[in-house]
Structure 1
Amino acid sequence: MIRTQFDKKIKCLCSDNACELSLTEYLQTQGTLHQFSCVETPQQNSVVERKHQHILNIARALYFQSQVPNNFWSECVLTATYMMNRTPSPLLQNQSPYQMLYGRSVDYSSFRVFGCLAFASTLGSH
Structure 2
Amino acid sequence: MHGAPHKAKTIISTTRCLELLHVDLFGPPSHESLGGKKYCLVIVDDYSRYCWVFFFKPQWTMMEFSNQVQRNYNATILAIRSDNGTEFKNYTLDDFLGEEGIQHQYSSPYTPQQNGVAERKNRTLIEAARTMMMEYKSNYNFWAEAISTACHATNRLYFRKGLEKTPYEILTGNKPNVSHFKVQQMDVKSTFLNGPLHEEVYVKQPPRFEDPHFPDHVFKLKKALYGLKQAPRAWFEMSMMGELKYFLGFEIKKMRQGTFVNQAKYLQDMLKRFDMKDAKVIGTPMHLKCQLSLDETDKAVDPSSTVR
TM surpasses 0.5: yes
Q: For residues 41 and 32 of structure 1, do their structure 2 counterparts lie closer, same or farther at Cα, with a shift above 3 Å needed?
A: same
- The answer for the alignment partner of 1:46 in structure 2 is 116
**Structure 1 counterpart of 2:104, from 34, 44, 54:** 34
Do residues 10 (structure 1) and 81 (structure 2) align? no
| TM-fit CA distance, 1:43 | 4.2
The amino acid across from 1:63 in the alignment is: M
TM-score, normalised to structure 1's length?
A: 0.71
**Structure 1 counterpart of 2:151, from 81, 87, 96:** 81
Do residues 96 (structure 1) and 163 (structure 2) align? no
Preserved CA contact (<8 Å) 2:159 2:166: yes
* Separation of aligned partners in 1, 2:150 and 2:94: 32
| TM-fit CA distance, 1:62 | 1.6
| Of 71-80 and 42-51, the range deviating more from structure 2 | 42-51
| TM-fit CA distance, 1:117 | 6.8
Preserved CA contact (<8 Å) 1:63 1:76: yes
Unaligned runs of 5+ in 2: 1-67, 189-205, 210-308
SS at match of 2:157: coil
- Compare the two structures and name the one with the higher strand fraction: 2
Preserved CA contact (<8 Å) 1:88 1:94: no
* Separation of aligned partners in 1, 2:183 and 2:97: 38
CA RMSD of aligned residues (A): 3.2
Do residues 55 (structure 1) and 132 (structure 2) align? no
Q: For residues 81 and 4 of structure 1, do their structure 2 counterparts lie closer, same or farther at Cα, with a shift above 3 Å needed?
A: same
1:27-86 residue CA offsets vs partner (Å, 9 max, x unmatched): 233232210124565344222111111111211222222233333222211100010111
The amino acid across from 1:72 in the alignment is: F
Q: Which has the higher contact order (CA 8 A, sep 6+)?
A: 1
Percent identical among aligned pairs is: 29
| Larger Rg over CA atoms | 2
| Of 94-103 and 29-38, the range deviating more from structure 2 | 29-38
Q: For residues 57 and 45 of structure 1, do their structure 2 counterparts lie closer, same or farther at Cα, with a shift above 3 Å needed?
A: same
Unaligned runs of 5+ in 1: none
* Separation of aligned partners in 2, 1:79 and 1:117: 22
- Compare the two structures and name the one with the higher helix fraction: 1
Q: For residues 97 and 117 of structure 1, do their structure 2 counterparts lie closer, same or farther at Cα, with a shift above 3 Å needed?
A: farther
Do residues 106 (structure 1) and 173 (structure 2) align? no
How many residues align structurally? 119
